[in-house]
Amino acid sequence: MASVGIDIVENQRIGKLMSDSFVKKFLNDDELEDFRNIGTEDRRVEFLAGRIAAKEAVLKCLKTPNICSLRDITIRNDGLGAPYAEYEGHEIQISISHEKLFSVAVAMFLQ
């Protein structure tokens, strides 16, 4: 059986809210390191918006919106740079896409 989740985030809204404490609400330590290594502010906003959308999509996919924190979900990249999510030992396939105004993500979990 497969589960699917999708989410979209407005990049400008994330840019307006972006502070160190805001970022730490969504990114765990591994992701924070990647975030801090990004060179431009615009790319940081896009990265964070995409990660938030991906984590929300994972929650919808797993049907656990109130069970975990978004920091409990880790977004990683495989050897080819494609993103995937990890949560409680499970690997969830995701795709993240960016456009000037929005970042969108879809998650799929095969059980």
Q: Which residues, in sequence order, are CB contacts of 10 under 8 Å at separation 6+?
A: 49, 101, 102
Distance between CA 86 and CA 105 in Å, rounded?
15
| DSSP string for residues in 11-71 | HHHHHHH--HHHHHHH--HHHHHHHHT---HHHHHHHHHHHHHHHHHHHHHHT-TTTS-GG
> Which residue numbers are catalytic?
60, 98
